Structure 1
Amino acid sequence: MVRPRNLQPLFTSRGERTAFWHRALGDEALAHWLAALRPTRLHVGSEFCERLLPTPAQLILNLVEAREYGLGVSLLTPVASPQVIDALAELLALLPAGAEVVVSDWGVALLLQERFPQLTPVAGRILCRMLKDPRLGNPQYAPPAGHDLASPWLDTVLRRLNVARLEMDLPLFAGDGTFSGAPLPLDVHLPFAFVAKGRMCRTAGLARSGPERFSPRPLCHHECLGLRADTVREAMDDAWQTVHVGNTVLCRHSPATLAAVSRAVAAGRIARLIVPGEAV
């Protein structure tokens, strides 16, 4: 969520919640399902782009707004460069004890352990390895669970770094066995999954010309918050809609795949759902 003040409709009537989710996600059936639930946490920041990290002033405002709604706060952090580490050191110092920090980089998890042990590390979805290419339409290419979270080697790393939870995208071929076997409480993103990311932002580069147009550090005005590109393969019937937002390619899951999430929630195999609070 970039603008927490826009959450207000989620704390009114069920009809208002349905309308909110329908505007954000464009899916009537999903909106009705989510309207029966109430938010418990606010994710701020970005796993994908260092330019979407909040400033210290913005983070303080986010913490105040979240507290007004009775929400916990999770700070999303991207893959870390030296500049990101410097920015995070200032932001992490502002978080209250017990606040969650979603790490996309093992170095950030180590930073938390060494300098901010009062905060709670969460392994973000970038660290969850799985088949992500939506052009592969056959489930034979995917491992049985769709992810690698049941690895004993990963479990050792998670425990060494005091990671408390796991986040994952919904695998392309999610089934009833997908959400079993995780060593820690499992939080699932829907209805979008990230396919690939980089440091080059096509959206920001559109306003520039010359050799710097698509450089890794373009002049950024947060164009990605209002622009996206739908990508389509001509003459191909792809099962998943694909969109390009900023430096990230995302795919949207079908209603049939989302049904597996609904069954897992009902069975208690998913601890949290993480849903965009603003239109993608």
Structure 2
Amino acid sequence: MEKAIYITKLCELPQEKENKDFSRIYFGNEFCERLLPTSEELRAVIDFATERKMEFTLVTPYVTNKGLERLEKLLSLLAKETSAEVVFNDYGVLRLLLRKFGGLEPVMGRLLNKMKRGPRLMNLIGMLPETSLAYFRGSSIEVSAFRNFLSKNGINRVELDNLLQGISLNLPKFGFSASLYIPYGYITTTRNCLAIDCDVHGKEDVVGIFPCKKECQRYTFYLKSKAMPITLIRKGNTIFFKNETIPKNLDEIGVDRIVYEPNLPL
């Protein structure tokens, strides 16, 4: 089982004693183009990985045209420095990879796999028949047309969240491998940032796509409700859940890589 560590900031680079636990480093951001690393930060992490003989994966978010331009510069740097994986969560990013960066390996991100993430499902899970359970534990990867699209574009690895209700997939049957993110999974994300001006009196509830002060880097909100079986974690434009229980059917699913998130990936 390959073990990777996922960081979003230079200060999260693993200490020397931790390096022995991981053979790959994930770096970047899945949820906001404003949090993409600079070229200098990317080069620093590539150098860190190279010096320690670690494999490298760049993680990318859904983007606007402006974000795509910024990302293209990062991909140009990455393509010059090393052959590496790029996790895409936007089909425009995939198109860019296929057109201009054939030496980089595309990996389908977890924002595109259409898994059922709503924690309220756990309130009903014991009442559902097996056919319904299989549906809620599945993914769009089970659709043949979608698998054909992925295969046609040279994609053979997909990223998965560690669903509370479990995962019922057999990806090796279709020639795919999977990475499983531990312990944080995402529930939903939006370009309408939930943290903008959250510390400005009178604007706490204002939500939109506005210039920000990266409030997400300073504040984390924990949401509790009687309707929810677990505490939700809201950071920036994304809501997360935490699940540290590793599924027992990793081989059946096709998981051959664990992606460890030491902190919320935002």
Query: TM-score, normalising length from structure 1?
Result: 0.79
Cα distance per residue 1:43-62 (max 9 Å; x no partner): 11111111110011111111
Structure 2 CA distance for partners of 1:68 and 1:51, relative to 1, 3 Å: same
Structure 2 CA distance for partners of 1:205 and 1:218, relative to 1, 3 Å: farther
Aligned to 1:3: 9
- Would you say 1:93 and 2:99 are equivalent positions? no
- Would you say 1:119 and 2:104 are equivalent positions? yes
SS in 2 for 1:63: helix
Cα distance per residue 1:235-262 (max 9 Å; x no partner): 44x3333100110001112x5xx242xx
Q: Which runs of 5+ in 1 are unaligned?
A: 18-34
Equivalent residue for 1:229, pick from 221, 230, 245: 221
2 CA distance for matches of 1:71 and 1:243?
31
Structure 2 CA distance for partners of 1:227 and 1:179, relative to 1, 3 Å: farther
Aligned to 2:94: 109
1 CA distance for matches of 2:137 and 2:253?
17
| Alpha-carbon contact 2:115-2:138 (below 8 Å) kept | yes
- Would you say 1:219 and 2:219 are equivalent positions? no
Equivalent residue for 2:160, pick from 154, 168, 188: 168
Structure 2 CA distance for partners of 1:178 and 1:69, relative to 1, 3 Å: same
1 CA distance for matches of 2:257 and 2:236?
26
| Number of equivalent positions | 248
Percent identity between the two aligned chains: 24
Equivalent residue for 1:274, pick from 232, 242, 259: 259
Tell me: higher relative CO, structure 1 or 2? Use CA pairs within 8 A at least 6 residues apart. 2
Aligned to 2:239: 249
Q: Which runs of 5+ in 2 are unaligned?
A: 1-6
| Alpha-carbon contact 1:192-1:252 (below 8 Å) kept | yes
SS in 2 for 1:108: helix
SS in 2 for 1:130: coil
Query: TM-score, normalising length from structure 2?
Result: 0.82
| Alpha-carbon contact 1:45-1:53 (below 8 Å) kept | yes
Cα distance per residue 1:25-57 (max 9 Å; x no partner): xxxxxxxxxx9x821221111111111100111
| Alpha-carbon contact 1:190-1:274 (below 8 Å) kept | yes
| Alpha-carbon contact 1:168-1:188 (below 8 Å) kept | yes
